[in-house]
Amino acid sequence: MELLLIKRKNEPFAGELALPGGYVAEGQTTTEALDKVLSRKAGLNLGQLKYLEQLYSFDTVARDPRGHAVSVTYYGIGNDLKVSYQKAGLENPEFFPINELPPLAFDHLKIVEYARQRLQSKLSYTNIAMAFMPKRFTLSQLQTLYEQIAGHPLDKRNFRKQIQAQNLIKETDEWYKEGRHRPARYYVFAKQTVQNLDF
């Protein structure tokens, strides 16, 4: 599991790694601004994300030396995201493994931790896991995801029972046949949209 960071071009914290961010223009919604910032600075498109949720709004008066009023933060999830490095003006977007993050500018690490926490609790009562998965996947892949978010290993048999009991996934007749071991059955999610309980 990886997190997209950019290398800041401007002060403060120029040259340091940070979450991508930018300004909201007059008459623009925060999600419109998000879309623009994402594509301009990070080479990603909102449409590539399978899930997007508002995280929190921070008062930046105290946090940011430039003294702006509010930072509305979002977190998004996608599978097999590729940044388009060709674009001009990008701030070197790069994915970093979530468990070995480099030092971040501002208090962005706290924000990341908060998002992680939120994600973890959402896993238990939504099908948000879907947003991380490709169209078809094996149960081991799914379990690995859950373990990454939970931060500890899970029992294979119990995990499979629980997942199957939720009716979120359906088995297919396709098989993953890599490596010198028994093939694994591919599964797909039963509902093709991620629930979003927010506005």
Partner DNA sequence: GCAAAAGTGTTACATCTACACCCATGA
Partner DNA sequence: TCATGGGTGTAGATGTAACACTTTTGC
Residues at the interface with DNA (CB under 7 A): 138-140, 155-158, 160-162, 165, 177, 179-185
CA-based nearest residue to 18, from 117, 97, 91, 86: 91
For DNA, which is the closer residue by CB, 124 or 192?
Answer: 124
Return the one option of DNA, a second copy, none that residue 30 interacts with (CB less than 5 to 8 A, by type): a second copy
**DSSP assigned state of 18:** E
**According to the binding rule CB under 8 A, does residue 59 interact with a second copy?**
yes
Cα 101 from chain centre? 14
Scan residues 6-35 and list those touching a second copy (CB under 8 A).
24, 26-31
List 11, 173, 178, 198, residue binding a second copy (CB under 8 A): 198
Token duo for residue 27: 């008459």
DSSP string, 94-147: EEEETTSPPP-STTHHHHHHHHHHHHHHHHHHS-GGGGGS-SSB-HHHHHHHHH
Residues making up the chain, counted from first to last: 199
For a second copy, which is the closer residue by CB, 70 or 190?
Answer: 70
Token duo for residue 116: 């992680």
**According to the binding rule CB under 8 A, does residue 51 interact with a second copy?**
no
Scan residues 121-160 and list those touching a second copy (CB under 8 A).
none
Residue at token pair 């950019």: 6
Stretch that binds a second copy, among 13-21, 42-50, 54-62, 91-99 (CB under 8 A): 54-62
Stretch that binds a second copy, among 65-73, 89-97, 127-135, 153-161 (CB under 8 A): 65-73
Q: Confirm if 190 and 168 have CB atoms less than 8 A apart.
A: yes
CB of 192 to DNA, least distance (A): 22
Q: Confirm if 72 and 59 have CB atoms less than 8 A apart.
A: no
For a second copy, which is the closer residue by CB, 63 or 160?
Answer: 63
For DNA, which is the closer residue by CB, 50 or 160?
Answer: 160
Q: Other C-beta atoms within 10 Å of 148: how many?
A: 14
